[in-house]
Every structure is written in C-alpha cells, then in structure tokens.
A and B are shown apart, each in its own frame.
Chain A
Amino acid sequence: MTAPASTRPDEDLAADVARPWNVVLWNDPVNLTEYVVFVLRKLFGHSLEKATKLTMQVHHGGRAVVASGPREKSEFDCYRLHHHGLWATLEK
C-alpha cells in the first residue's frame, strides 16, 4: 500500500500528458526525393505542394515533423513510414 499523495499532480505533468507526440522524419542519403513526396501524399493525404515542402525541409534541414497526435496514432504513423523505408522517430 502506498500513502495518499500529499500533493496533486503538478501542472507540468498534466500539460506533458496532454502534449501531442510528433512524428519526425529524418533525412537519409538513399531514398529518392520523389519517393518521400509520394509516401507523404499517400499516407497523410498531403497535397503535392505540402508533401514537397516537407520533403525539402527534410532534405535541407535534416528533419521535419510530418504528423502529430496521440501516442497510439503516432506509433502507427511511425510504423507506416518504416514499412515504406523512411526513417522516422517519435518525440514530444
């Protein structure tokens, strides 16, 4: 048994739980630019323009947040990107 908590969870913790997870796509030297654009359009329904912008952000800046949301959905997004050979991680 544990003693009752003497304080309520602090606001930082509550805010952390509510914060969405970001799906981060990383640059790699092998995947074709047009393949990354295709996958982002197909998986996330992005327009050609948005998918191209994100792909260029990854290519030149090394990374981009391509989706965000609750943990389970973000894990599924990560899985789908990995299934397509893209390098993705999760972060808050």
Chain B
Amino acid sequence: MGDARKVSDLFESTPDGVLAHFSDAERDFLIQLLELLADVGSAAGDPAAARLDPVVYPDDPLAEEEYRRLMRSEIDEARVADRSAYQMVLESKGDVTMSFPEAEAVMRVVGEGRLALAARLGIRVEGDTETLDKDDRSALDYLAYVQGNLIEVLSTRLPSI
C-alpha cells in the first residue's frame, strides 16, 4: 500500500456534497478510465479481471461457482451505477458539485482504474512500481492523488470514533 500526496486543491467539502475542480486535461485523462474498465475481462487471462474479482473460496470451486451465480448481477449493477455517476461528473462542464454518494462512486472508480492499470502493468508485490516507466508511474501517482484527496474529504463525514 502506498501513500497519497497531501495536496488538497481538487476537492472542497460543501454542505451539499463535494465540489470538484478538474481541469480539462484532468477530465480528458480521467474519462479514459471508463474505457479501460469496460475492457477488463475482454481477453482471457486478463490480470485486471482477476484483481477486480478475486476468488472468494480459493479452496472450494463449487462454493465459488455458487457465490458467483448468486452475486454476479449485484456486482455488475453496483459497478454500472458507479461508472454512470463517474461519467456524469466528468462530463459536466466547469466545477461540479457531487453528492456524497456520487463522490464515493468516483473514489471507487478511480481506485478500480488504478488497480486495473497496475495489474496490467504487472504490479504484483510492493516495490514493483519501481520498475515502471515514467508515464505509467505518473498515471498511477495521479490517480492516487485524486483518490487520496477524495478520501480526505469523505473521511470527515465518518463518525469520529
């Protein structure tokens, strides 16, 4: 697990939700995650698919099959809802206020995009990111920055216990 940068100029917490200030370049980059995520699992043996849908019963294929049968549509629907919210936010012009559930959806999609990208780049254990080229590393770092900023804003809404 890595660390997010602690700069917080992307999001502001407001009484109605989270105000996002994305530049056009940021929107153009972030919207591409939807294409990446839609492609996950399209090829056999895609490491991103294995990472986003981990096996629940590693030692019991029958229980695993049953779990998939029961939960498949629920998982798919949750992802469709998250990605629609993400698309709506990123296609808005100028600053946009996300409701808190929308902000959480954006936080999850950015995280999923990061996981899918890292899996396809062969990141398996701590330290693997050291071998990445500059562009790939910047992409993962930028996504960590966006997600880290959102976590910071959303954490203030959790009960302080």
Interface string of A33-65 (1 = CB under 8 A from B): 111101001100101100000010001000000
A79:B57 contact, CB within 8 angstroms: no
Chain B residues lying within 8 Å of A45, measured Cβ to Cβ, are 159
Specify which of A55, A79, A85, A88 is in contact with B111 (CB 8 Å cutoff): A85
Ordered by A's residue number, 11 sampled pairs between the chains whose C-beta atoms are within 8 Å are: A30-B2, A30-B114, A31-B1, A34-B151, A35-B148, A36-B1, A38-B151, A55-B1, A85-B112, A87-B51, A88-B54
Query: Which segment, of B19-27, B38-46, B83-91, B123-131, faces chain A?
Result: B123-131
Complex alpha-carbon distance, A47 and B147, angstroms: 21
Complex alpha-carbon distance, A42 and B103, angstroms: 14
Chain B residues lying within 8 Å of A75, measured Cβ to Cβ, are 56, 67, 70-71
- Shortest CB–CB separation between residue A85 and chain B, in angstroms? 4
Q: Nearest B residue to A33 by beta-carbon distance?
A: B1
Q: Which residues does B use to contact A, with CB under 8 Å?
A: 1-4, 51-58, 67, 70-71, 74-75, 78-79, 107-108, 111-112, 114-115, 118, 123-129, 140, 144, 147-148, 151-152, 154-155, 158-161
Specify which of B2, B54, B161 is in contact with A87 (CB 8 Å cutoff): B54
Complex alpha-carbon distance, A88 and B53, angstroms: 10
Chain B residues lying within 8 Å of A82, measured Cβ to Cβ, are 52-54, 75
A59:B154 contact, CB within 8 angstroms: no
B111:A35 contact, CB within 8 angstroms: yes
Q: Nearest A residue to B2 by beta-carbon distance?
A: A32
Looking at B129, B140, B151, which has the most chain A CB atoms within 10 Å of its CB?
A: B151
B4:A89 contact, CB within 8 angstroms: no
Contacts A29-B1, A75-B56 known; list 17 others, CB within 8 Å.
A27-B1, A28-B115, A29-B2, A29-B126, A30-B2, A30-B118, A32-B148, A33-B2, A41-B155, A75-B67, A82-B52, A83-B75, A85-B111, A85-B115, A87-B51, A89-B54, A89-B55
